[in-house]
Structure 1
Amino acid sequence: MRALVLSDIHGSLEGLEAVLEAVGTVDAVWDLGDVVGYGASPNDVVEKMRSIGTLHVRGNHDRVAASLSSSLNFNPVARAAALWTQEALSPENMEWVREMPHGPVQPEGIAVSLVHGSPLDEDDYILSVRDAWAPLQQMTQPITFFGHTHVQGGFIQQGTAWRELIPEYRTRDTAETWELTISPESRYLINPGSAGQPRDGDWRVAAAVYDTEASTVTFHRLPYDIIKAQGKILMAGLPDRLALRLRDGK
C-alpha cells in the first residue's frame, strides 16, 4: 500500500495541488493536521481534503479556526489569520474542521501512528533529539508520522543510537525526491514537511509517501505557484508577512 502523508497545508490550494499532481495515484491519504490557517483558500483546501483524505488528525490551527480553543496563545499574525479563517469557512466546512479527530490515529492493520505535534501532546513541537527522546520511548507503534514544525525530516532510534533524519537534496528550484528505507530494528518519528508553508529554509512544498510493501518513505520537495498563493493572501487582506515568508521558506 502507498499512502500519501500530508501536513500543515494551511489553506494553500496551490501547495496541495502541486503535491497531488506530482505524487499521482496512491491508496490512501493521511492528513496530519493544520489544514487551515495562514493561507487564503481554506474552503477549497477543506473540500479537497474531504474528498480525498482517508484519515485526518486535527492541528492547533484547525482547533482554533473551529473555535474549539482560544487564539490568545497565537502570535498576532497567526491570530489574525485564525480569525479571518473563522469568518471565511462555510458552515459545512467549519463543521468538518470541528469534527477532525484528536491524535494519535492508527490506520487499520498498519503499524504506524498519525499525530499533529507529538504522540504525547498534540501541541508539542519536536525539533531536536532532546524533544524526540520521550516520544520515541513511549510510542505505541514503531513509526509515528508527525507535523506541526513545518520541517521535513525526523528522528531515528536504533538500540542506544539516536540520530536526526535530514533528507538530502541537490537543488532548491526543481522537483526532487529522497528515499528512506525503514529498518525493522529501528523506531521512527517522521515529518513529511509542510504542504503549504515550509519553515526549513526551502520554499518548495513538502510531502512524503509511505510504501508498506517496499518499507520505504519517499520524501518530496516540489515547486508550486507561489506568486498565485502570495497574491491570494494579499488580496484577502491577510498580514503581508504570511505572503512574504513563503519565498524564504521560513
Structure 2
Amino acid sequence: MKIALLSDIHANLPAFDACLEHARAHGAQQFALLGDLVGYGADPGAVLDRAMQLTGAGALAVRGNHDDAALAPPATAQNLGDQSAQWTGPHLQEHHRAFLAGLPLTARMGPDALLVHASADGPERWHYVTDGNAAERSMAAATQVDPAIRYVFSGHVHEQALYFLTPTAKLMRFSPQPGVPVPVPPHRQWLAIVGSCGQPRDGDVRAMYALFDEDAATLTFRRVPYDHLAAAAAVRASGLPAFFADRLEKGR
C-alpha cells in the first residue's frame, strides 16, 4: 500500500488540495496527517472538513501544537503563533473543535510505524527534530514504546529530512531529492520529517509531502506546485498578520 504523509498544512487549502491530488495521481491509497492542520492560514474550516472526510475514510491523524493552540488561544498574544491562534479559534465550528480535541498526540500505522507531529520524545512538549541528537532521542523514545517500531514519521520542522541508524548504531542524515524513491528497508530504524504542506520555509514555495510504499519499502519526498499567490492573498484578506502571507510568497 502507498500512504501519503502530510504535515503542517496550516489552513492552506490550495496547498492541501494540490498535495492530495498529486498523491492520488501517484498511487496513494491511504493518507496520514501529522498535525498542525490549522494555524497561519486563512481556511481552517475547509481544511478541517477535508481532514474529517479523509479520517472518515480510514486516514490516520495526530494533533500538532497549532491545533492545540487554536482550541485554547491565549488571552494576550506574545508572538505570531499566539496571534494566529487568536484568529483561528473563533473561526472554528464546534464539530471542528471536537475533531481537533479528539486527535491523539501519536498514532501507530501498521505494526512498525509511529506517527507524531514533533518528537516521540515527549510529544506533548513539541521538541524540534533539527539535528542528529534530537532525531536519536525521538527514535529511542519510539522503540521504548515498542521495539518493533522501525519508522517514525513526523513534521513540525517545515523542511524535509531523513535519518537512519546503521548496523553499528551510528546515526546518519540523508537529504532527500524530490521525486526520487529512497529505499527504507525495515531492518534499519528510520525517522522521516515529511516537510510542510502549507507553509514551506526552505526558500521553495512548493508544497511538501512524502509517499511511503509499504510493499516496496521506499519513501519518496515530493514537492508540489500550487497557487501560493492565491493562498497568500487569502491570508491578506482575512486580517491575519501579513507576515504569514509573505512567507507563502517567499517560501521562508
Letter aligned with residue 165 of structure 1: F
Cross-structure match for 2:113: 112
Whether contact under 8 Å (1:136, 1:157) holds in the other structure is: no
Cross-structure match for 1:174: none
- 1:17-28 → structure 2 map (5 Å cutoff): 17-24=17-24, 25-28=27-30
Deviation at 1:75, TM superposition (A): 5.3
Whether contact under 8 Å (2:177, 2:221) holds in the other structure is: no
Cross-structure match for 2:146: none
State whether structure 2 residue 85 is matched by structure 1 residue 82: yes
Assess, with a 3 A threshold, how the Cα gap between structure 1 residues 95 and 234 changes in structure 2: closer, same or farther. same
Q: Distance in 2 between matches of 1:71 and 1:188?
A: 40
State whether structure 2 residue 98 is matched by structure 1 residue 95: yes
Letter aligned with residue 138 of structure 1: A
Cross-structure match for 2:177: 168
Q: Distance in 2 between matches of 1:192 and 1:148?
A: 9
Cross-structure match for 2:64: 59
Assess, with a 3 A threshold, how the Cα gap between structure 1 residues 71 and 52 changes in structure 2: closer, same or farther. farther
State whether structure 2 residue 136 is matched by structure 1 residue 133: yes
Q: Deviations over 1:155-200 (max 9, x none)?
A: 111123322121125xxxxxxx121111233211101111100122
Query: What TM-score does the superposition give when structure 2 sets the normalisation length?
Result: 0.90
Assess, with a 3 A threshold, how the Cα gap between structure 1 residues 247 and 71 changes in structure 2: closer, same or farther. farther
RMSD: 1.6
Q: Distance in 2 between matches of 1:91 and 1:198?
A: 29
Deviation at 1:137, TM superposition (A): 2.7
Whether contact under 8 Å (2:162, 2:191) holds in the other structure is: yes
Q: Distance in 1 between matches of 2:111 and 2:223?
A: 25
Assess, with a 3 A threshold, how the Cα gap between structure 1 residues 71 and 49 changes in structure 2: closer, same or farther. farther
Q: Higher helix share goes to which structure?
A: 2
Cross-structure match for 2:247: 245
Q: Distance in 2 between matches of 1:71 and 1:14?
A: 30
Whether contact under 8 Å (1:234, 1:240) holds in the other structure is: yes
Cross-structure match for 2:162: 154
Letter aligned with residue 114 of structure 1: L
Letter aligned with residue 22 of structure 1: H
Deviation at 1:89, TM superposition (A): 0.9
Letter aligned with residue 116 of structure 1: H
Deviation at 1:4, TM superposition (A): 0.9
Letter aligned with residue 61 of structure 2: H
- 1:206-221 → structure 2 map (5 Å cutoff): 206-221=208-223
Gaps of 5+ in 2: 144-148
Q: Deviations over 1:99-132 (max 9, x none)?
A: 11122x102x331000011111220100011211
Count of equivalent residues = 239
Letter aligned with residue 3 of structure 1: I
Whether contact under 8 Å (2:74, 2:82) holds in the other structure is: no
Gaps of 5+ in 1: 170-176
Q: Distance in 2 between matches of 1:213 and 1:71?
A: 48
SS at match of 1:191: strand
Q: Deviations over 1:46-79 (max 9, x none)?
A: 0001001311110000011011x7587x852211
Q: Distance in 2 between matches of 1:151 and 1:135?
A: 17
SS at match of 1:139: helix
Q: Which piece of structure 1 moves more, 202-211 or 21-30? A: 21-30
Assess, with a 3 A threshold, how the Cα gap between structure 1 residues 118 and 234 changes in structure 2: closer, same or farther. same
Q: Distance in 2 between matches of 1:92 and 1:47?
A: 9
Whether contact under 8 Å (2:229, 2:248) holds in the other structure is: no
State whether structure 2 residue 143 is matched by structure 1 residue 143: no
Letter aligned with residue 60 of structure 1: N
Q: Distance in 2 between matches of 1:184 and 1:89?
A: 40
